[in-house]
Amino acid sequence: MNVIIVGGGMAGATLALALSALNKGNISISLIEAREPDNGHPGFDARAIALAHGTAKRLAQIGLWSVLKPFVTPINHVHVSDRGHCGFVNINAQDYDIDALGYVIELHDAGRQLFAQLKKQPNITLYCPAKVEHVQRHLDNVEVTLDDGTQLSGDLLVAADGTHSPIGHQCHIQWQKTPYHQVAVIANVKNRD
């Protein structure tokens, strides 16, 4: 089976590595990504994400946790409350006999580690930097033409190229947006130890 994944952010890179591990390298994967992770990749910037305890277990099952673990900070305690309302919840990892409830990792660290692993897999061909110029769908396969003229053929095309997916548009994939009318402020805070 040949799988073409467009988009090498967290979703696309992790999917490629998971497919490779779960199929023991017996699947051919082409991963197309427009930017290297160290060149201002929007998916691997200075933001941090939280990985649930279960996610860390799944990453361990596919051999990725050992390369990500040196870059994570454990979440040992969570306090949930709502200002102006009585009641709260405290959750502690030790109460559940686990190392951590989850882990925080900066995306640029995750990106560097995932791309290093992608480059080590003999069944994953990384096209980076590269962009998809054209997608042609057929009954039994899909053909993708890259911006340098390279043509790829696959049994499955995965659009992991972001929120406003150009591949999704080219393939006429419909989706529904639900506005939540909420705003978030994201900041990185450094401690002066």
Q: DSSP characters for 32-100?
A: E-SS-TTS--TTSSS-EEEEEHHHHHHHHHTT-HHHHGGGEEEE-EEEEE-TTSS-EEEEEGGGGTSS-
Looking at the domain assignment, is residue 187 inside a domain? no
Q: What is the pLDDT of residue 39?
A: 62
What are 17's two structure tokens?
A: 């590595």
* 120 DSSP β-pair partners: none
Looking at the domain assignment, is residue 41 inside a domain? yes
Q: What is the CATH number of the domain that holds 106?
A: 3.50.50.60
- Of the pLDDT bands very low, low, confident and very high (cuts 50, 70, 90), residue 188 is confident
Looking at the domain assignment, is residue 16 inside a domain? yes
What would the pLDDT profile of 110-142 be if each residue is shown by its tens digit?
Answer: 999 999 999 999 999 999 999 999 999 999 999
What would the pLDDT profile of 10-61 be if each residue is shown by its tens digit?
Answer: 999 999 999 999 999 899 999 999 987 776 677 788 889 999 999 999 999 9
Looking at the domain assignment, is residue 180 inside a domain? no
Alpha carbon distance 176, 166 (integer Å): 16
* 137 DSSP β-pair partners: 142
Contacts 24+ apart (CB under 8 A), 167-176: 167/6, 167/7, 167/132, 167/135, 170/132, 170/134, 170/135, 171/135, 171/137
Q: Which residues contact 88 (CB under 8 A, 6 or more apart)?
A: 79, 80, 81
Cα within 13 Å of Cα(49), Cβ side: 16
* Domain range enclosing 19: 2-170
Looking at the domain assignment, is residue 182 inside a domain? no
Which of 100, 114, 89, 104 lies closest to 47 in space, CA to CA? 104
How many domains would you assign to the chain? 1
